[in-house]
Amino acid sequence: MVWTRLSALVVKELLAAFRDPRGRMALIIPPLIQLFLFAYAATLEVSNVPIGVVNQDWGAQSTQLISRLEHASAFSEVRHYASEKDAQAAIDRQDVMVVVEIGQDFSRKLVSGETPSVLVLLDGRRSNGAQIVNSYVNNIVAQYAAEFGAGRGPPPDSAIVDRSWYNPNREYRNAMVPILIATLPMMTVMMIVGMSVAREQELGTFEQLLVSPLQPIEIVAGKSVPGLIVGLAQCAVITLIVIFGFGIPLLGSALVLFAALTAFLLSVIGVALFVSSLATNQQQAMMGTMVVVMPAMMLSGFSSPVQNMPDWLQPLALANPLTHILVVIRGLFLRDMPTLLAAQHIWPMAAMAVATIFVAAWMFRRKVQ
C-alpha cells in the first residue's frame, strides 16, 4: 500500500520533470554549458598577459633580465615605457596590470656584488591576477639574480625548491573542474525539489495530496527520490565528461565517490524541502534557494580555503555539506584518498541529510494545522 502510493508519487514527479520538452532541456543544457564555461573561462591562471617595463639602466644585465621576461610563457609581450609616469598612465588605462621598473644602478650594483632593487608596480584593482603575475616576476628576478651570483661570488645558502604534490603541473583545471560534479547537480536538485512543492501549492494540487491517504513522510520521500535520481544521473554524466572529456583521471574509488555524492545530494534535498516548506509560492522558493546556495558556495572552500576563514565562521563551514563533498571529490580525483578518510566526511553529510529531511517532514505535518 505504502509502496503503491510512493511509486505513484515518484512516477508523477519524474513525468512532471521530463514530459515537457522545455523542462527536459532545462535539466540537461544549462549544466553542460556551465561545465564548459567553468572549465575554460573562469580560470584563475594568468597567461598571455602583457607586462610593462621601465628600464632606466643601460647595462647588459638589465637587458638580460628583460629578455627573460620576454621568454616567460606567462607573458604575451613586454611593453616598454620611457618613464614611471608613462607606465602609470598605462596601468590607469588597464593596458598592463604589472610594470617592472629597473633602477639606474641595477647593473652596477649587480656587478659590484651589492643587492640591486627592482620596483614592481601592481594594479591593485585586479589584485588577484596582479598577485599571481607578481609572483612570476619575483621568481624570474630571483632566479636571474641567483644565476648571476652563481657565476661570481659564493652561492646562496639555500634555495627553495617546490613541488606540488597531487597536482605536479599545478593545473588549475585539475583542481577546479572535478568539484563541478557536486556543485552543478546541487543547483539542479535545489531547484527541482525546492520548486516542486511550491508549484503544487500555487496550483492547489498540494491540498489534493494532503487530502489523499499519503502521509507527510511519504510526500517527503516521493519528492526526494526523483530529485536523487535526477541528481545522481547528472553527477554521473559530469563525472564521465570530466574523466574522458577533460582527461582528469579519477585516482580514487568510484564507489566511494558515488556513496559520498548520494549522501551529499540527500542533504541538499533535505535543505531544499525545508526551504520549500517555508515558501508559499514559487517566487519565494526561488529566493529561498538563492539565500541558501550563495553562502553555501562561499563557505565551502570552493574558492578560498576554509582554514583562512575566521574561527567563528569555521564551524558553520563544517556544517555545510558542500565543504565535505569538495574535500572528498578533490581527494578522490587528485590522489587516492583512503576510504576511511572519505568516510569521515561522508557521515556528517549523511547526518545533515537525516536531520533536514525529518525537519522538512515535520514542517509538512505542521501545514495541516
Partner 1 sequence: MSAPLVSIDNLTKTFAADAPAAIETLTTQIRAGQVTGLVGPDGAGKTTLMRLIAALLTPSAGRIDVCGLDVATQGPAIHDTIGYMPQRFGLYEDLTVMENLRLYADLRGLPDSARHATYERLLAFTDLARFTGRLAGALSGGMKQKLGLACAMLRSPKLLLLDEPSVGVDPISRRELWRMVYALIADGVGVVWSTAYLDEAENCAEVIVMNAGRVLYQGDPKAMTAQMAGRVYQAHGAGSARRTLLARALTEPQVIDGVMQGEAIRLVMAEGAAPPDAAAIGAPPDTRITPAAPRFEDAFVAALGGIPKHPLTPPARKDFSDTRVAPVEARGLTRRFGDFTAADDISFSIRRGEIFGLLGPNGAGKSTTFKMMCGLLRPSAGKALVDGLDLYEAPSAARAQLGYMAQKFSLYGDLSTRQNLDFFAGAYGLSGARRRDAVAHVIETFDLEPYAKTNAGELPLGYKQRLALSCAIMHEPPVLFLDEPTSGVDPLTRREFWAYINAMVGRGVTVMVTTHFMDEAEYCDRVALVYRGQVIAVGTPEDLQSSVRSEERPQPTLEDAFITLVEARENAHKEAA
User: Which positions lie near partner 1, rule CB under 8 A?
Assistant: 1, 4-5, 7-9, 11-12, 15-16, 19-20, 23, 203-205, 207-215, 368-369
Our CB check for partner 1 shows the closer of 167 and 215 to be: 215
Our CB check for partner 1 shows the closer of 277 and 323 to be: 277
Smallest distance from the beta carbon of 355 to partner 1, in angstroms?
25
Our CB check for partner 1 shows the closer of 223 and 324 to be: 223
Q: In what order do the strands lie in the sheet with 49-55?
A: 75-80, 49-55, 98-102, 118-122
Q: Are the C-beta atoms of residues 53 and 37 closer than 8 Å to each other? A: no
Smallest distance from the beta carbon of 287 to partner 1, in angstroms?
14
Smallest distance from the beta carbon of 215 to partner 1, in angstroms?
6
Smallest distance from the beta carbon of 3 to partner 1, in angstroms?
8
Smallest distance from the beta carbon of 294 to partner 1, in angstroms?
25
Q: How many CA atoms lie within 13 A of 226 on its CB side?
A: 26
Sort 312 into a burial class: Cβ within 10 Å, 0-12 / 13-18 / 19+. exposed
Smallest distance from the beta carbon of 16 to partner 1, in angstroms?
6
Q: Which long-range contacts (CB under 8 A, 24 or more apart) does 40-47 make?
A: 42/176, 43/172, 43/173, 44/128, 44/132, 44/172, 44/176, 45/132, 45/172, 46/74, 46/129, 46/132, 46/133, 46/136, 47/73, 47/74
* Cβ neighbours of residue 242 closer than 8 Å, sequence gap 6 or more: 177, 178, 180, 181, 248, 333
Our CB check for partner 1 shows the closer of 48 and 212 to be: 212
Our CB check for partner 1 shows the closer of 2 and 89 to be: 2
Our CB check for partner 1 shows the closer of 230 and 322 to be: 230
